[in-house]
Chains A and B, each alone.
Chain A
Amino acid sequence: MAAVAMRLPVARKAVAPSGSRGDEKHLVAPGDTITTDTGYMRGHGTYVDEEKLIASVAGAVERVNKLVCVKALKTRYNGEVGDIVVGRITEVQQKRWKVETNSRLDSVLLLSSMNLPGGELRRRSAEDELAMRDYLQEGDLISAEVQSVFSDGAVSLHTRSLKYGKLGQGVLVQVSPSLVKRQKTHFHDLPCGASVILGNNGFIWIYPTTEQKDEEAGGFTTNLEPVPLSDREVISRLRNCIVALATQKLMLFDTSILYCYEASLSHQIKDILKPEVMEEIVLETRQRLLDLEG
């Protein structure tokens, strides 16, 4: 049955600040004066004009001793060594792939910084170079770790672990990198029956949990069997929950996603994206997170 829902737009309401424990953030808009004190050092997202420190982006002010930075809410990804990212191959070049990771410059994945299929350890030969498109071709998604950051901010990736590599069937959601909480692990097998990779670059990959991790293939064969309907329902629900959390600007990590998933269970999957339902479940999630913190 066809369902067509139309509505009048409603002005976004300012939701009451969540922090009742006195940890209110110092928020600034571009052009706002952060401080007139000259004793501070200028960090990212700020500039000095007429001896005043002024914000150049909208976000929260962070201070480390004398250094003042503004962390933007909506930003491109700034790579840091050790970050987990999800990216899409845009170009195959000699000895390297170009990867789109939502940063200002395309990232690179060198042929030498990936595991060969079968986990062989040897120098990369000219034959390997010719077979590069067989491993990863344009459009393929990969998970990887940031190996180093170049002076211009471009990122070099590596996939030298069985955790990383080509991604198979699943759904990608793109959010702002500042919404992904930094944690010990960014790979989660959620108890609701699906797994997520929360890339630090704001790319979130949701995929069905596999029972046995295919060790010997080295992550280059993708399972092309149809995903069962029950798994699809979980994945679609998770996807909509993550979209809901991201539109309401809640931090994304395993607990918040799981709470949101549980809050959404009373609604149909496609209804989660309706603004009023979205608000309801996100408020419930936030309340539970606050209760958890105590």
Chain B
Amino acid sequence: MAAVCLSEAEKLYIVHGVQEDLRVDGRGCEDYRCAEVETDVVSNTSGSARVKLGHTDILVGVKAEMGTPKLEKPDEGYLEFFVDCSANATPEFEGRGGEELGTEIANTLYRVFSSEGSVDLKSLCINPREHCWVLYVDVLLLECGGNLFDAISIAVKAALFNTRIPKVRVLEDEEGSKEIELSDDPYDCIRLNVDDVPCIVTLSKIGYRHVVDATLQEEACSLASLLIAVTSKGALTCMKKIGKGSLDPESIFEMMETGKRVGKALHIALQKILDEEESLGTTRQKVGFLG
């Protein structure tokens, strides 16, 4: 990952600051940086979102394609994740440099979305055992400024909220052969219920305390972080430890509590902004990439 190199004194300054609940940019331990969320930024996707969190810049596109359901779940559609680390983010990602990180993030996303009920997969089924919608969720890292996982999960949720899947009907003739008919009206589409889609909250242990939304500099001072996927109701769906350091059980519980609390606030803020954007409808001036 894009890592920065700091001197011992700089690290010490950050660690002491976290202990006093005043981080380098003036935030407290449980504050997020100001995030910008915009959906529907890529026209040739079913749903897309772009999230900027400080210097972290994420673009997510969701493309719905028709496929066959998996054998073990014949009446459900499924999600596929792919993470692309652009060499624009850091030169280290050039060539195959970003592959490892990309797979790690994609695997995490699979785990986060593996819990039942995060997305209503049954609604993606068209025709049991034969046809279903496959949602290809493509994540593109445009800039790395720390806290990738949280920003990506926010962007994925926003993109899923924005996703519109055309309505199809299955017609069956006398001989039993089936035909799929697409609705003529382009606005006739189904939308996903994203109420239970979890967001990831990363808690980085710095010194004796933990912080959310660590910058690159703060990540360099942290030996271990805990990744928690929280739903809007505060339910914890997935947990993962990253980093080479160890965490003691007591602090893990503390971090889980903080994660749930922050996660709920995160969901409320995200839902509010998504609803606000929705209410503006087509009158809103799109900013996109040139703003």
Contacts and interface: CB of A to CB of B under 8 A. Distances in A.
Interface of A: 1-12, 88, 90, 138-141, 167-172, 222, 224, 226-227, 229, 232-233, 236-237, 239-240, 268-270, 272-275
Contacts of A226: 16
Interface string B267-291: 0111011001100000011010001
Nearest to B31: A3
Interface of B: 5-10, 12-13, 16-17, 20, 22-28, 30-38, 52, 212, 258, 261-262, 265-266, 268-270, 272-273, 276-277, 284-285, 287, 291
Contacts of B13: 169-171, 227
B30 A2 contact: yes
A167 B59 CA distance: 38
Contacts of B34: 5-7, 273-275
B30 A170 contact: no
Contact of A8 (B7, B27, B28, B273): B273
Contact of A172 (B10, B32, B273): B10
B269 A233 contact: no
A139 B220 CA distance: 12
Given A6-B35, A88-B5, A236-B22, A270 B27 contact: yes
Enumerate the 7 nearest inter-chain pairs by beta-carbon distance, A residue then B residue, closest first. A269-B26, A270-B26, A2-B30, A169-B13, A4-B269, A11-B291, A9-B287
18 contacts: A2-B30, A2-B212, A2-B261, A3-B27, A3-B30, A6-B34, A6-B269, A7-B273, A8-B284, A9-B52, A88-B7, A138-B5, A169-B9, A239-B26, A270-B25, A270-B27, A270-B28, A273-B33
B261 A10 contact: no
Contacts of A227: 13, 16
A3 B265 contact: yes
Contact of B20 (A232, A237, A239, A272): A232
A232 B7 contact: no
A10 B12 contact: no
Contact of A233 (B22, B38, B273): B22
A139 B52 CA distance: 28
B40 to A, nearest CB: 12
Nearest to B154: A6
Contacts of B265: 2-4
Given A2-B212, A7-B35, A273 B25 contact: yes
Residue of A2, A12, A140, A222 with most partner-chain B CB within 10 A: A2
A12 B25 contact: no
B7 A141 contact: yes
A224 B23 CA distance: 18
A120 B25 CA distance: 40
B37 A11 contact: no
Given A6-B272, A7-B34, A7-B35, A236 B24 contact: yes
Given A4-B265, A226-B16, A236 B10 contact: no
Contacts of B5: 88, 90, 138-139
A7 B154 CA distance: 13
Nearest to A226: B16
Given A139-B6, A232-B20, A273-B34, A6 B25 contact: no
A6 B270 contact: yes
B28 A3 contact: yes
A88 B286 CA distance: 40
B10 A170 contact: yes
Contact of B10 (A4, A141, A237, A240): A141
B54 to A, nearest CB: 9
Given A4-B266, A239-B25, A11 B285 contact: yes
Given A6-B36, A6-B272, A12-B291, A1 B9 contact: no
Nearest to A170: B13
Nearest to A11: B291
A233 B25 CA distance: 9
A196 to B, nearest CB: 15
Contacts of B28: 1, 3, 270
B58 to A, nearest CB: 13
A248 B164 CA distance: 38
A236 B287 contact: no
Given A4-B268, A9-B52, A233-B22, 16 more contacts: A2-B32, A3-B30, A3-B31, A3-B265, A4-B262, A4-B265, A6-B34, A11-B287, A139-B5, A170-B9, A227-B13, A236-B22, A236-B25, A239-B24, A270-B28, A272-B26
B158 to A, nearest CB: 10
A171 B17 CA distance: 11
